[in-house]
């Protein structure tokens, strides 16, 4: 039977070599420049005359970029050869793999529009090499639940004011408030305060109380709701910064699975909590688990006689009534007793 250990050592060597290549600063710089160059190629292709004149050159440059991205993915996969699951736990690795591998799918290569969209998605890969851009993307992702709640509240406010506007201005201004849909569209455009002056003037010709309608909507929609949305985004941005700082403070050990990495950190903390463990000589059986040394003494004697004496109750001997007792009055030892007549 063949021994599986040489194959495991081979994977570890391959992962170590690929990891050295992927963690080099030059590797990230080259990939980043290739992404920007690929984006520039897509911009050049929008000029029909220039694209038709240099079609072969542009196609060759696109193939070179695709080959470079494929080599990058192979190196990243090789860096996780000793722990393949770690590669698929990283969302950025999955995104890069889907974007690069889609260029080799036959149905995608035949669809020019879909292929250009996927090539455009490569530009987002620059977030992998720009920490600040990565923080912004994480903040956008974490703000989606709060943004959904904001959209629901905004739609509710818009619908209520649209119904009120339809009831009040449908007959006088059917072009803007003839239906609920038109009223919602009008109020949505007024959210930016653009055209609010003309709307207020038209409403004052209908009724003087229309100023309350427009003023309350402008305060609620343009100030309160917009500030709530800004607060949600800023809160998500702070959370994204904390996540990035935590990832930078606790970097993962390369080549070690997460479970073994946690055990290694626990072992280091256990050793740090026992600074005096080497006072009793070389480690023996049970020393790694924090057990006392086995030197033939009972467990209470290993702590020393000082601790035992500290815990032992102090007993005071009874004091006698004799004037010449050396125990009660040690100062009178050797002194003759005074005569009874004096």
Q: Where are the domains of the chain?
A: 9-128, 144-249
Helix H or strand E segment including 138: helix 131-142
Average pLDDT over residues 280-284: 47
Q: Mean pLDDT, to the nearest integer, of 307-319? A: 52
The angle at the Cα of 93, spanning 88 to 94, to the nearest 5 degrees, equals 65
Token pair of 35 as six digits: 């992404």
d(C-alpha 122, C-alpha 118), whole Å:
7
Domains 9-128 and 144-249 share a fold: no
Cα distances (Å, whole numbers) of residue 233 to 101, 219, 226:
33, 20, 11
The CATH number of domain 9-128 is 1.20.120.350? yes
Check whether 66 has a pLDDT greater than 60: yes
* Top-confidence residue, 196 or 3: 196
152-195 pLDDT, tens per residue? 998 999 999 999 999 888 888 888 888 999 999 999 988 888 88
Mean pLDDT for the chain overall: 75
Cβ neighbors of 221 (< 8 A, separation 6 or more) are 154, 157, 158, 161, 187, 190, 191
CATH pick for 144-249 out of 1.10.3720.10, 3.40.50.10310, 1.10.287.70, 3.30.360.10: 1.10.287.70
Taking only the tens place, the pLDDT of each residue in 109-149 is 777 778 778 778 878 777 777 777 778 888 888 888 888 88
Q: How many other C-beta atoms are found inside a 10 Å radius of the C-beta of residue 318? A: 6
In the predicted structure, residue 311 carries a pLDDT above the cut 80: no
Supply the DSSP string of 197-228, one letter for each residue. Answer: HHHHHHHHHH-TTHHHHHHHHIIIIIIIHHHH
**How much helix, strand and coil, in percent to the nearest 5, is found in the chain?**
75, 0, 25
**Looking at residue 195, what DSSP letter applies?**
T
Predicted TM-score (pTM) of this structure: 0.51
**CA–CA gap between residue 81 and residue 78 (Å, rounded):** 5
Position 160 scores a pLDDT of 93
State the pLDDT at residue 170: 86
In sign, the C-alpha dihedral spanning 142, 146, 148, 151 is negative
Q: Give the pLDDT confidence of 14-35 residue by residue, as tens digits.
A: 888 888 988 888 888 898 898 8
Q: Is the pLDDT of residue 326 over 50?
A: yes
H-only helix segments in 218-257: 225-249
């Amino acid at each position: 039977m063949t021994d599986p250990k040489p194959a495991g050592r081979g994977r570890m060597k391959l992962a170590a070599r690929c990891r050295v290549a992927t963690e080099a600063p030059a590797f990230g710089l080259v990939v980043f420049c290739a992404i920007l160059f690929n984006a520039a190629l897509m911009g050049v292709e929008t000029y029909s005359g220039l694209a038709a004149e240099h079609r072969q050159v542009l196609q060759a440059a696109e193939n070179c970029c695709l080959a470079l991205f494929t080599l990058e993915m192979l190196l990243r996969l090789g860096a996780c050869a000793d722990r393949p699951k770690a590669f698929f736990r990283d969302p950025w690795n999955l995104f890069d793999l889907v974007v690069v591998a889609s260029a080799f799918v036959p149905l995608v290569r035949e669809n020019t529009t879909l292929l250009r969209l996927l090539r455009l998605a490569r530009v987002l890969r620059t977030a992998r090499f720009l920490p600040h851009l990565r923080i912004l993307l994480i903040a956008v992702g974490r703000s989606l639940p709060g943004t959904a709640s904001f959209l629901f509240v905004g739609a509710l406010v818009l619908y209520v004011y649209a119904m009120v506007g339809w009831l009040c201005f449908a007959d006088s201004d059917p072009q803007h408030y003839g239906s609920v849909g038109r009223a919602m569209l009008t109020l949505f455009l007024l959210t930016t305060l653009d055209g609010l002056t003309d709307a207020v003037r038209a409403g004052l010709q209908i009724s003087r109380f229309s100023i309350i309608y427009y003023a309350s909507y402008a305060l609620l929609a343009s100030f309160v709701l917009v500030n709530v949305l800004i607060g949600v985004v800023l809160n998500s941005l702070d959370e994204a910064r904390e996540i990035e700082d935590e990832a930078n403070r606790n970097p993962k050990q390369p080549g070690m699975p997460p479970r073994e990495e946690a055990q290694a950190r626990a072992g280091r903390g256990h050793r740090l909590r026992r600074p005096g463990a080497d006072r009793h000589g070389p480690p023996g059986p049970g020393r790694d688990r924090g057990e006392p040394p086995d030197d033939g003494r009972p467990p209470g004697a290993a702590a020393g006689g000082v601790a035992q004496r500290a815990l032992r109750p102090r007993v005071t001997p009874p004091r006698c009534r004799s004037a010449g007792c050396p125990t009660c009055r040690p100062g009178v030892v050797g002194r003759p007793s005074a005569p009874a007549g004096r």
